[in-house]
Amino acid sequence: MDTTLAGQPAGQLLDGRYQVTSSIAHGGMATVYLGLDTRLDRTVAIKIMHAELAADEHFVARFIREARSVAQLSHPNVVSVYDQGSDGRHLYLAMEYVHGHTLRQLLNEHRRLSPRDALDIIENVLAGLAAAHQAGLVHRDVKPENVLLAADGRIKVADFGLARSITGTSHHTKTGVLMGTVAYLAPEQVTDGASDTRCDVYAAGVMLFELLTGRQPHVGESALAVAYKHVNETIPAPSAVEPGLPQALDALVALATSRDPELRPADAGQFLQAVRAVRQGMPIPGPFPPPMGPAGMEASPAAYVMNEGPPGPLALPGMMPPADYGATPSAGAEYEPQHRTLIVGPDGGPPAPRGGSSLGGRHQGPREPWLQRWLFSRRLVLVLAAVLAVALIGGIAWWQVAGRYAKVPQVTRLSLAAATAELRGTGFTVRTAPPRLDNSVAKGDVIATTPAAGSSVRRGATILLIPSAGPRLIAVPQVSGQALAAAQAALRQAGLTPGTVINQASATIAAGIVISTNPPAGTSWPQPRPVTITVSAGPPLPNFVGQPKSTAEAWAQANGVSLNEQPAQNSTQPQDTITRQSPAPNSPVTKGEVVTIYISPGPPMVQIPNVDGMPVDQAVHTLEQLGFTVNLVGAGPLHAVFNYSPNGQAPKGSTITVFWGLPGGGN
């Protein structure tokens, strides 16, 4: 069989091993096909690079080098690479096939995810990236399109097509070239093309923001505009887009998406530790710069992560203090902005000007010492009395207006234990209501509080927590045997969401009829989760090889399939015999699809030599050398040929009858 590829590779055999069937996805660097490893009889995903990249010798060398590195990476959250090779001008990877859908498809269906689902996914993504970083690889294109959600619940990071070794000769791209997807590019990738593990951390932080809010943090009219925003604007807090999200999630996104790479976790493993710590209600670990507390004391990271109010000014090493803390210097005070120091005179007034008197240069005579002491003591007593009076009045007013009240913190979507701990830590009494069904809040998490978050209540008041009993469970109806549209309508009527449709060949079920659902009928299924439907694509394509073309023509006409008939080259098969076909036998086909068959024009015609009078052995040898089969007929003592049939020309491989001996029987 000729395996040289031309045009589209679908239906062809790569390297005599990988049968390419249908296209799965198309990207900027390659197209991914569904395929079969005929040697190991397993389904694979085959990624074939675009022809213009395969023609670049430098790209091919780097591709082979990095493919070998990725192939050595074995982790349950990373798509495995089985093989790499080339067939003609086609450069390909054979990879693990993950049956399911992408995280982008999930976001398109649900817009945004609950905090628990978002953290579940980002944990698995970070686990896969951490394994890659530990192995010395940077992904460089982390985005929802490259996260695969398997039907069995597994989560895998795919497409290391832009990956490169951390210890390679360069961490930079060519001048003017941005590698990756602009919505997830770290600022340093835009400004100088630098790529290291912290770029993957930044992209993971952007992806976490998108999972929580349903939108990307930076959008613009062009890719250049989006890149400019990554360099010059800070990623907003998720709670600023979706009010009600816990501040702990804001802290995680801020940690991963700092515009200064030195302030991010060093790799995905460190970011993973931070995510797990937040989920357990613990402070964020690691050598990350903490927020500064009162009087210059370092506060616990949990004060920034879990504080009920907005964080105060954040003092980081190497940063100038904020321009204003909200305080106004008293009249007559001299403000030293570099040290934030208020300088006052000994009597609480302005200081004496440098090099002059305390009265601005106006000369006064010396006072008696006792008079100075008396005036100073009297003034000090008055000042202290005024201060005490103001403090007492202010304290009483503060307690009456605000001091005995506190705001209920935002604890929705936290676990019941975490919410209880936070409320009790704030001084409230906690009571728990019976759980209730909720399709958007995971089981065990808090749906709402009474009074609601943000309400001002007396300190020590009782806060009622309403936990979620999980989503409503609905029995999947029996829709097998129905048309696809009817099955989808039945699922919607039952309160469920129809999900991905999978086409599967069937010799017994008509095309367009539902074969099964996942989960099966009768299963109690969460209402918001989609139900996968498997639909018959009609009978599988028969094996026409060795059959006359009339057989394929009759089947194609009966099943609404078009035939593309091509002549077979150098065939010795009888005329009109099918020598090969594409797609392969047993592939699913739909009405209107084109099936290519290669038809033998018959064996070539060969000139029959004149063997009259030759000895029988010599005649047989001569004819067999030309590819004929010889049938001997004769008797008698004379072993010489006196006739043969046919003569002239005959198809190669046909039978020549040779008569020998004496005509008439040899007697």
Q: Which residues are catalytic?
A: 141
Question: With contact defined as beta carbons under 8 Å apart, do 544 and 575 qualify?
Answer: no
Nearest to 658 by CA among 611, 624, 626, 622: 611
| Triad 573, 574, 578: Cα angle to 5° | 65
**Facing residues of 303 across strands?**
none
Structure tokens at 638: 């004379």
Question: With contact defined as beta carbons under 8 Å apart, do 663 and 642 qualify?
Answer: yes
- Cβ-proximal residues to 591 (8 Å cutoff; 6+ apart), any chain: 511, 538, 559, 560, 561
Question: With contact defined as beta carbons under 8 Å apart, do 657 and 631 qualify?
Answer: yes
646 preceded by a cis bond (ω within 30 of 0): yes
- Cβ-proximal residues to 186 (8 Å cutoff; 6+ apart), any chain: 198, 199, 202, 203, 230, 261
Structure tokens at 467: 């936990």
CA–CA separation, 191 vs 199, rounded Å? 13
Question: With contact defined as beta carbons under 8 Å apart, do 457 and 424 qualify?
Answer: no
- Cβ-proximal residues to 504 (8 Å cutoff; 6+ apart), any chain: 515, 534, 535, 536, 537, 588
Nearest to 60 by CA among 21, 33, 34, 86: 86
Question: With contact defined as beta carbons under 8 Å apart, do 386 and 380 qualify?
Answer: no
CA–CA separation, 317 vs 304, rounded Å? 17
What is the number of alpha carbons within 13 Å of residue 609 lying toward its C-beta? 16
CB atoms within 10 A of CB 95: 24
CA–CA separation, 228 vs 182, rounded Å? 10
State how far the alpha carbon of 654 is from the alpha carbons of 158, 341, 605, 627, in Å. Answer: 57, 111, 10, 8
CA–CA separation, 88 vs 12, rounded Å? 12
**Facing residues of 531 across strands?**
498
CB atoms within 10 A of CB 636: 14
Query: Which strand (E) or helix (H) includes residue 18?
Result: strand 18-26
Question: With contact defined as beta carbons under 8 Å apart, do 352 and 345 qualify?
Answer: yes
The DSSP code sequence of 93-147 is EEEE---EEEHHHHHHHHSS--HHHHHHHHHHHHHHHHHHHHTTEE-S--SGGGE
Structure tokens at 64: 């082979």
CA–CA separation, 107 vs 209, rounded Å? 12
Question: With contact defined as beta carbons under 8 Å apart, do 474 and 496 qualify?
Answer: yes
Structure tokens at 347: 């009597």
Nearest to 73 by CA among 151, 170, 139, 167: 139
Residue in the structure block whose two tokens are 């007034």: 349
Nearest to 251 by CA among 299, 180, 322, 183: 299
